[in-house]
A and B are shown apart, each in its own frame.
Chain A
């Protein structure tokens, strides 16, 4: 589904943050992306999300060389990807419900067609009573769960999650992990960036480890 070949990336004139990355993210796979703080996890997710272009190397996503994809096609490709940003990126003027429904709304779906699904998902992530709250009054963990719900709502083919359990307690982290697994079981490839060892220890999964700009893959 995704293929990286000799991908390198630097910010400005700085050192290469990522060096010679060559790997695949297969269909329906589940993997953790880990590494020390500042190792480049968020940067790699941005490459996977096509919001950053590599300095060198080749990236193929959904069988297309992304260097050749015209801008007009990017939204259609992104609709196949769900992303949880490390800083959530919820819109402060929309309620939790509206934030989570946003991906469906921009696809032109009428509200009546998704209302139940959104409310159901919000209940599953424990935000059933925060449906009408605006993000500024949500706790860090609540925002995180809203961001996760937004990424999942359209059942993407690929889910990218940046520290999705960084702000929640262990029981909630476990619950969210089981949500990702459920999604994976339904056919979504999942990449979770985290440095939470206890989270990774909860299941046997592929681990991609970033150190000094290079990638090591276990499993």
Chain B
């Protein structure tokens, strides 16, 4: 005699179709989630890169010894806590910076161009810009401190908007995933009504029938969710590896500039695991509720078409 088989039939065309649907939806949800994670990461890294530097600009003036003024400004700022370094931008670098406007082959010394001191700061513990500005004014009146505040603010706003849009898309995709999983589960279950009915008629309690189906469909949901999640994680991993391998090749710099590093990090992978869990849980819960509803329907059946009073 064969070992006692499960009460819910193991496989079926509808079960296989459900695995595929769940896998596809989980894959899409995980891709979106990964993309949003990456956008969020690059947004914060743009911000911190910009915020890591401030510049001091010194305007040329009749009788000003530029080199002395630069050295002076540099030494002033380095006394502040929160400044990790300061360097005078050399003549060559300044010329390169101005090249788009002035063309090449210019002699910096002959032109009244402003010069820069690039100050790197500890972004977690930034110096007191107010005090720094006052001190600079006192010591080098021609110096102007630019802390890029306006830029950082605009970038932050843009990054926040991008992340919000990403979260919105993620919300939509997750909703679509949940709804699709619900409908697919229900349609996979619809072929099992006679089983629910027979079980109920031979004396099975609602809870028993529901948990039999739930166990089976949880497995289907988990299988599909895992397939989709692993595929998505693999895709991100492969893209990251490809980016590493082609680092420096033509074109890859653009991808990197646009998307940052293709890596979703531990939080991204955790998110994917969460999507898989949600998908499997939704499948199981839908199954439970659908079976319970089917049984309620069977119990309230009335020949004259009126619904019996819920009791």
Binding site for B on A (CB under 8 A): 9-13, 17, 43, 49, 51-53, 55, 68-72, 74-76, 78-79, 83, 89-91, 93-95, 97-98, 101-103, 105-108, 111, 131-132, 150, 154
Complex contacts, B194 vs chain A, CB 8 Å: 89, 91
- Say how far B220's CB is from chain A's closest CB, in angstroms: 16
A102-B209 Cα distance, complex, nearest whole Å: 12
Taking CB as reference atom, which chain B residue is nearest A119? B1
Complex contacts, A132 vs chain B, CB 8 Å: 1-2
Complex contacts, B311 vs chain A, CB 8 Å: 68-71
- Stretch in B32-40, B49-57, B261-269, B296-304 touching the partner: B296-304
Taking CB as reference atom, which chain B residue is nearest A80? B203
A154-B204 Cα distance, complex, nearest whole Å: 13
A123-B220 Cα distance, complex, nearest whole Å: 38
Q: Name the contact of B203 in the complex, choosing from A9, A70, A79, A101 (C-beta under 8 A).
A: A79
A76-B298 Cα distance, complex, nearest whole Å: 16
Complex contacts, A69 vs chain B, CB 8 Å: 311
A43-B295 Cα distance, complex, nearest whole Å: 20
Judge whether B205 and A53 touch: CB under 8 Å: no
Interface size of B as a range: 20 to 34
A76-B204 Cα distance, complex, nearest whole Å: 8
- Knowing A12-B305, A91-B195, A98-B4, say if A106 contacts B203 (CB, 8 Å): yes
A51-B5 Cα distance, complex, nearest whole Å: 27
A94-B6 Cα distance, complex, nearest whole Å: 8
Judge whether B303 and A9 touch: CB under 8 Å: yes
Can you list 21 contacts pairing A with B, beta carbon distance less than 8 Å? A11-B303, A12-B305, A17-B303, A52-B301, A68-B311, A71-B206, A71-B296, A74-B299, A75-B200, A78-B200, A78-B202, A83-B201, A90-B198, A95-B1, A98-B5, A106-B199, A106-B203, A106-B204, A106-B208, A111-B4, A150-B202
Asked if B7 is at the interface of the complex by the 8 Å CB criterion, the answer is yes
Judge whether B5 and A93 touch: CB under 8 Å: yes
Asked if B9 is at the interface of the complex by the 8 Å CB criterion, the answer is yes
Asked if B274 is at the interface of the complex by the 8 Å CB criterion, the answer is no
Judge whether B299 and A71 touch: CB under 8 Å: yes
Judge whether A75 and B5 touch: CB under 8 Å: no
- Knowing A75-B200, A79-B203, say if A95 contacts B2 (CB, 8 Å): yes
Taking CB as reference atom, which chain A residue is nearest B202? A103
Asked if B179 is at the interface of the complex by the 8 Å CB criterion, the answer is no
Asked if B238 is at the interface of the complex by the 8 Å CB criterion, the answer is no
Judge whether A11 and B203 touch: CB under 8 Å: no
Judge whether A106 and B304 touch: CB under 8 Å: no
A89-B202 Cα distance, complex, nearest whole Å: 11
Asked if B308 is at the interface of the complex by the 8 Å CB criterion, the answer is yes
Given contacts A76-B203, A90-B198, 12 further A-B contacts (CB under 8 A): A10-B304, A11-B303, A43-B303, A53-B301, A53-B302, A72-B205, A75-B204, A89-B197, A94-B7, A95-B2, A102-B199, A105-B4
Complex contacts, A78 vs chain B, CB 8 Å: 200-203
- Knowing A91-B195, A107-B203, say if A52 contacts B302 (CB, 8 Å): yes
- Say how far A63's CB is from chain B's closest CB, in angstroms: 17
- Knowing A74-B299, A95-B2, say if A11 contacts B304 (CB, 8 Å): yes
Taking CB as reference atom, which chain A residue is nearest B309? A67
Complex contacts, A89 vs chain B, CB 8 Å: 194, 197-198, 201
A74-B298 Cα distance, complex, nearest whole Å: 11
- Say how far A98's CB is from chain B's closest CB, in angstroms: 6
- Knowing A93-B5, A111-B4, say if A55 contacts B303 (CB, 8 Å): yes
Complex contacts, A68 vs chain B, CB 8 Å: 311
A91-B204 Cα distance, complex, nearest whole Å: 14
- Say how far A81's CB is from chain B's closest CB, in angstroms: 8
A75-B195 Cα distance, complex, nearest whole Å: 15
Judge whether B202 and A52 touch: CB under 8 Å: no
Complex contacts, B300 vs chain A, CB 8 Å: 53, 71
- Say how far A176's CB is from chain B's closest CB, in angstroms: 20
- Say how far A146's CB is from chain B's closest CB, in angstroms: 13
Judge whether B7 and A75 touch: CB under 8 Å: no
